[in-house]
Every structure is written in structure tokens, then in C-alpha cells.
């Protein structure tokens, strides 16, 4: 599915889920971003019919009806009672994984898109639930300044240009890229696309981009090829493979199930009166490991190596500073 189509479907779901009214196809055309680009009425209705079929195949229940006996055409909405999930019982480690996934997203680019859609609905006179903003609560945490501009370029289908610092050495080169997507791999963000300078697909680590990302050419000229797996592509270009290093941790009793699944318990120990286990595991990527372990807070303490222990401590201190 193309990025433009996926965004249009998300906008359509937000629109139909955020209203108590039945919205006609013509009203949806004027409200939902992505439909206004249709060159003719026939093109719009073809697109709209495909989108309705796609939503139904995804299991999203569309209601068809009319707001009053005076309406002459059918309208559409999504009933929250049918859309929302029932109660789900999760094991502690499963609940921790879900909580971590929810906390992953925190980006003004994505949050703004959701809130902007709701503002357009209200401006068009659509009756929107006051709590509708809770339908989508995106949070993508990244300190890379290039993330926002690159994500916007992917959505707009526009080429970009940026200065890039090579992994080895301090030299910086200007690269021109047709971006296909932005993905996270082993705790780092990468942009994948067609490198015009190399005339071949490439991926670039966002933390190595120097300065601003600049737009090149017109929007709508870049399209992601069908069947490209961005995550697999980044993995195949990961040249920083390194042998795993043994790590020794203290894990609070009954806590940090994600660490325990990968580790071997070698001893018992109390820290500040809290019982726990000393465990060992092998880690190959200290940068991503520090982020991962810091996420457990006081439930995990790095005992060795000292470099990793300091990295985790610095991240925790950084979080404490931001919270002040």
C-alpha cells in the first residue's frame, strides 16, 4: 500500500469515527485529505469505493444510513461500539511490551496530523466527540532533527538533499535522495530511498545527517517501489556487525521480564534492600542496549561492563533533567 493511500485511509477512519452524523460521499470528499486531488467525479467515486472495500476487508465496520427522512443520499460513519475492542487480559510481560509500544510514539509531525484532521472536521460543521483526540495518540521519540523533514518528504513524495557524515572519518558529503520511508533499526533511525548520486537504493542513518534537510524538485515525483521491505533493506546494509560482549546485570525480583527471557541467572543479590537476581547475557550493540536497559528504570542495574553502566546512568540522568 502506498504512503498516500495509507494516509487517506487513516484520515477516512478518523473522519467517520469522530462523528455521530452520517456523512455523504460528497461531504467526505470535501473534508478528508487525499480525495480533493481527484481530477473528476468518476475518479473520486472509484477511489472512494476502493477505500470502503479496503476498510471492510480490514475488519472496520462501516455503517450506512441517513440522518433524517429528508436526506436523499446515503451517508457513512463508524460506530464506536463496533470499532472499539473489548476487554483484553494480558500477562505482565505482554502488558509491559504493549506499554513500551505505546510510549514509542511522540512526534509533533504525527500528533499534529491527527489534531489537524479533527480541526478540519469541526470547521466543516461535523459533530465531533470531545474525546475524539484520544482515538490516535502517536508518540515517536527521536532526537534526530532530520526526522521531521524526512518524514514530511516521504509523505509528500519529494526528493531531498542533505550533508552526510560517513561512518569512518569526519568528511561530509552532499547526498540527493528520493526517500521511500523512515524506519528504526537496532535503536537508530534510518531513511531509505533511491540515491541519485549513486544511482542505486541506499539507506542513511539520521544521526549522521549534518545541518538541514533541503527539498529538491516538486512534490509527488517520488514513489516507493512495490514490494520493498524497508526494514530488511536496512538490515542488509548494517555494516556495524560486531561480536557480542558479555554483560552482567542485577534485575529486581519479579521484574523486567524482557531482560530475563534473554539472560541466565547466576546469583542472588540485594541492592538497597530490594531482592533480585544477578544475570548474564550477550549484547552486540551498546547504543541500543543502553536505551533498552534504561527503559527499565530502577528494576535493572548494570554491573559490568563499566562503559555500559555509565551509558545507562547518563540516559537516566537525562530523563530526570527533562522531567524537571
pLDDT tens digits for range 6-54: 888 888 888 888 887 889 999 999 888 888 888 899 999 999 998 888 8
**Average pLDDT, whole number, for the chain?**
78
Up-side HSE of residue 312: CA atoms within 13 Å toward CB? 23
Please state, as a whole number, how many other Cβ atoms lie within 10 Å of the Cβ of residue 140: 18
- Comparing C-alpha atoms, which of 308, 298, 296, 255 is closest to residue 103? 296
234 pLDDT above the threshold of 50:
yes
Q: Which of 132, 119, 117 is nearest to 35 (CA)?
A: 117
At 83, the pLDDT band (50, 70, 90 cuts) reads low
Read off the pLDDT of residues 130-164 as tens digits, 9 standing for 90 and up.
444 443 434 444 556 888 899 889 988 999 999 99
CB 259 within 8 A of CB 300: yes
DSSP characters for 193-259? Answer: EEETTTTEEEEEEGGGEEEEEEEES-TT---PPTT--HHHHHHHT-------EEEEEEEETT--HHH
Find the angle CA(139)-CA(294)-CA(108) to the nearest 5 degrees.
Answer: 15
pTM, two decimal places: 0.41
Amino acid at each position: 500500500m502506498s504512503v498516500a493511500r495509507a494516509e487517506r485511509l487513516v484520515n477516512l477512519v478518523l473522519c467517520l469515527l469522530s462523528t455521530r452524523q452520517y456523512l455523504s460521499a460528497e461531504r467526505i470528499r470535501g473534508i478528508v485529505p487525499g480525495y480533493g486531488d481527484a481530477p473528476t467525479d468518476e475518479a473520486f467515486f472509484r477511489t472512494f469505493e476502493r477505500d470502503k472495500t479496503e476498510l471492510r476487508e480490514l475488519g472496520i465496520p462501516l455503517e450506512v444510513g441517513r440522518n433524517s427522512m429528508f436526506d436523499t443520499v446515503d451517508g457513512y460513519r463508524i460506530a464506536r461500539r463496533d470499532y472499539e475492542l473489548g476487554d483484553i487480559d494480558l500477562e505482565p510481560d505482554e502488558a509491559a511490551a504493549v506499554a513500551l509500544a505505546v510510549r514509542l510514539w511522540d512526534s509533533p509531525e504525527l500528533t499534529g496530523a491527527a489534531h489537524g484532521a479533527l480541526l478540519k472536521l469541526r470547521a466543516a460543521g461535523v459533530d465531533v466527540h470531545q474525546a475524539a483526540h484520544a482515538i490516535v495518540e502517536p508518540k515517536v521519540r527521536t532526537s534526530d532533527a532530520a526526522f521531521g523533514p524526512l518524514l514530511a518528504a516521504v509523505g509528500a513524495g519529494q526528493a531531498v538533499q542533505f550533508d552526510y557524515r560517513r561512518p569512518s572519518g569526519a568528511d561530509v558529503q552532499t547526498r540527493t535522495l528520493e526517500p521511500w520511508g523512515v524506519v528504526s533499526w537496532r535503536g537508530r533511525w534510518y531513511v531509505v530511498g533511491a540515491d541519485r548520486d549513486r544511482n542505486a537504493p541506499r539507506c542513511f542513518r539520521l544521526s549522521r545527517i549534518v545541518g538541514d534537510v533541503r527539498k529538491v524538485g516538486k512534490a509527488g515525483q517520488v514513489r516507493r517501489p512495490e514490494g520493498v521491505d524497508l526494514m530488511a533493506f536496512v538490515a542488509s546494509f548494517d555494516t556495524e556487525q560486531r561480536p557480542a560482549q558479555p554483560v552482567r546485570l542485577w534485575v529486581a525480583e519479579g521484574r523486567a521480564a524482557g531482560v530475563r527471557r534473554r539472560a541466565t541467572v547466576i546469583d542472588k543479590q540485594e541492592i538497597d534492600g530490594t531482592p533480585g537476581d544477578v544475570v548474564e547475557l550477550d549484547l552486540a550493540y551498546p547504543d541500543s542496549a543502553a536505551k533498552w536497559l534504561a527503559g527499565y528504570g530502577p528494576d535493572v542495574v548494570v554491573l559490568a561492563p563499566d562503559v555500559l553502566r555509565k551509558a545507562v546512568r547518563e540516559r537516566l540522568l537525562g530523563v530526570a533533567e527533562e522531567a524537571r
